[in-house]
Chains A and B, each alone.
Chain A
Amino acid sequence: MQSTDSKMKRLVGPTIATLVPVIAFALAIHVYSNELLLTYMAIYVALAQGVNIMYGFTGYLPFGYFGFFGIGAYVSGLVMLDYNFPPVVAVVIGGLGGALVGAILLPLFRLRGAYFAIGTLAASEAIYTIVANPSLQSITNGPYGLNLANYYSSGMAYGSAIGLVAISIIAVSYVRGSRFGLTLKAIRDDPYSASMAGVNVPRQRFYAWLISAAIAGMAGSIFGWATSVFYPQAVFDSSLSVLAIVFALFGGIGSVWGPTIGAILLYSVYNAIGISNPQYFQLIYGVVIVLLVLFAPRGLLGFWNFIAQTLRSKRKKND
């Protein structure tokens, strides 16, 4: 009975962390009518959580994360166009496409640190070059992109994006609270020590990589569906990776709430600046990132924890 109670208690945090953003997105459409922008915001929340699984729990920075996103957009788009799959099913297939490419890129794990980051970037650029190649026009439509106008349904796409937010947060909550997450954190701290603790490092890292790639694949699928018409450079865009990484870092990696908060706040700022002061956009955004690195290197949640810990130890001293 006691263990059931403690299990229930353990579920409270992840449930709140999932429900709050899901309900917020569901209600936001009644307050702010730009559905496409909200869809993109939800997609970025999912992407930031995907980066969180990879970077926050294994320490591997996937600069080429956009490759899975682009593959997801193309795989789902093509199964809709060529096989007439329903969009929601196509989104799931897009996620599987992302995971499959993740499996193919597995040898990249022989690299570490900056070399891994650059390696994933190069691999994703290579995938883009292949997909956009005019000689593959009969399969991918080459540089002309895909037209999914016949499947356009902004409401369904938005609903799917919210669903993906829930899936990504549940995935992160599971990773964080599970033995799997514990072994990933051990790997992040020291892969060799982790292996001497019996951890099959390549396999555990591979699982994290697959989950992360599948989330990006589904995010790309929903992006393509919501955007309706897209060119390869729009879905194989390295700035997608940069933004997802910055959002995750801004909120605080390794946590459940951090990337959600980071993506919502920073994407709002990103769009607000872009609309109100487009001429200062790069400057203001750059300053925000510099301030983040200087004063909150562990993100907003890390900063919050630091302040809470300081106050707690001060209170202890006074007692």
Chain B
Amino acid sequence: MTDAPALLKIENLTTVFGGLKALSEVSLEIVPGQAIGLVGPNGSGKTTLVNTVCGLYRPASGRVILEGIDITGHRPHSIARAGINRTFQIPKPFKDLSVYENVKVSSIHSRNHAPIEEVLARVNLREFANHPISELTAAQQKRLDLARAVALEPKVIFVDELAAGLTPGELHEVAEMLKEFQALGIALIVVEHLMGFLEQVVASVLVLSAGRTIFAGPLRNALADEEVKRVFLGGESDAGN
């Protein structure tokens, strides 16, 4: 951890659906350029946390503070423009727009009108700029989600399962790509199941189970934590996979 002031502070965030507490008093802090893994089994509340911070769900309690400003419950576009963005587990490109136009939608809403070609180059999609979305693979569509997020000049990005379905070579390439964003000062919260991939990108993790934080700290300590092993890994130490 560094001593830099927190860029994003999530304080005791709780989200309730009907009678179900999908997220229970989850807290997290991240500084510029830091990468934190957000892990947990299916249904543990990872995506609910992302959706709540990004304004899709209104929290029952708790606060989201970006650079000292409370943005809890703000509308999604305000949160995105303030500097928090995300990718999607199932990619959500604008299907009727070209790759270039997809990124342009973000770029025209960014403060400095981020150069689209440059953003596409960062996610290795430059050669597909004029292609329709139907010609992209699922992995490329996920990178397009990332490009759209980057084009809005974010301070924090929630990267939701970007590595799923990639070959080891591609995994390495994506990890390097994320490190480049970190080097630009963008903080990353990486939602991921693949521990091998996480080890390349993050040093610390937040582990959720049933909407609660069961571990927060260095990744290697998480791999040794009994409760994490029981809940997330099913009791087996297959973390290197």
Contact = CB atoms under 8 A, between A and B. Distances in A.
Interface of A: 179, 182-183, 185-186, 188-190, 192-201, 254
A183 B148 CA distance: 13
Top 6 nearest A-B pairs (CB, nearest first) are: A198-B109, A195-B76, A189-B94, A197-B106, A193-B92, A195-B77
Contacts, number: 69
10 contacts: A182-B108, A185-B94, A186-B102, A193-B92, A194-B105, A195-B76, A196-B54, A197-B148, A198-B152, A200-B75
A196 B108 contact: no
B80 A182 contact: no
A196 B94 contact: no
Nearest to A199: B77
B3 interface: no
Interface of B: 54-56, 75-77, 80-81, 85-86, 88, 92-97, 101-102, 104-106, 108-110, 145, 148-149, 151-152
Contacts of B97: 182, 185-186, 189
A193 B76 CA distance: 9
A201 B55 CA distance: 13
Given A182-B101, A186-B97, A192-B56, A198 B106 contact: yes
Per DSSP, chain A at the interface is helix
Contacts of A182: 97, 101, 104-105, 108
Contacts of B94: 185-186, 189-190, 193-194
B96 A196 contact: no
Given A196-B54, A197-B152, A183 B105 contact: yes
B209 to A, nearest CB: 27
Given A185-B94, A186-B94, 7 more contacts: A182-B101, A188-B96, A193-B92, A193-B145, A197-B80, A197-B106, A198-B105
Given A183-B105, A185-B94, A189-B94, A195 B75 contact: yes
A17 B152 CA distance: 35
B144 to A, nearest CB: 11
